[in-house]
């Protein structure tokens, strides 16, 4: 089974520039997550998609971050403009929710290799 794919693996930009990251989840996984992991910290959820709809984006800094999953498969995360404090690893994860009563149920998350962003 192919894993979660992310690109690029590394990116170095100057502050105020824009950057975009791409994620392709495991085939059939309806739920997709973007996390930000700053060095020395655990991953912080930025946004969660269920198919092409946003489930939770409460921690996404919407003045500069945006994400979309138009066809409910792959997703892009954009930062515009970038700040120094955005330097982090951006992790994408996917899971296949299942449950009763039509409600999604948590299942194991599979993580991609991450994109390491350095903002100078």
Partner 1 sequence: EDKVVQSPLSLVVHEGDTVTLNCSYEVTNFRSLLWYKQEKKAPTFLFMLTSSGIEKKSGRLSSILDKKELSSILNITATQTGDSAIYLCAVGDTGNQFYFGTGTSLTVIP
Contacts with partner 1 by CB under 8 A lie at 31, 33, 35, 40-45, 48, 50, 55-56, 91, 97, 104, 106, 108-114
* DSSP code per residue over the chain: ----EEE-SEEEE-TT--EEEEEE--TT--EEEEEEE-TTS--EEEEEEETTEEEE-TTS-TTTEEEE-TTSS-EEEEESS--GGG-EEEEEEEE----STT-------EE---EEEEE-
Nearer to partner 1, 63 or 108 (CB): 108
CB-nearer residue toward partner 1: 81 or 104: 104
Q: Which is nearer to partner 1, 14 or 85 (CB)?
A: 85
Q: Which tokens sit at 117?
A: 């962003």
Nearest to partner 1 of 21, 35 (CB atom): 35
Closest distance of CB 56 from partner 1, Å: 6
Q: Write down the least CB distance from residue 75 to partner 1, Å.
A: 16
Residue 107 CB, shortest distance to partner 1, in Å, is 8
């Amino acid at each position: 089974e192919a894993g979660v794919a992310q690109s690029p693996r590394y990116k170095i930009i100057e502050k105020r520039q824009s950057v975009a990251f791409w994620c392709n989840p495991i085939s059939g996984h309806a739920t997709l997550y973007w996390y930000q992991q700053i060095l020395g910290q655990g991953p912080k959820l930025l946004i969660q998609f269920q198919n092409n709809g946003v489930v939770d984006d409460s921690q996404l800094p919407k003045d500069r971050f945006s994400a979309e999953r138009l066809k409910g498969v792959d997703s892009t995360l954009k930062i515009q403009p970038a700040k120094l404090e955005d330097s982090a690893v951006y992790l994408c994860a996917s899971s296949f929710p299942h449950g009763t009563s039509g409600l999604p149920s948590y299942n194991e998350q599979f993580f991609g290799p991450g994109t390491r962003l350095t903002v100078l």
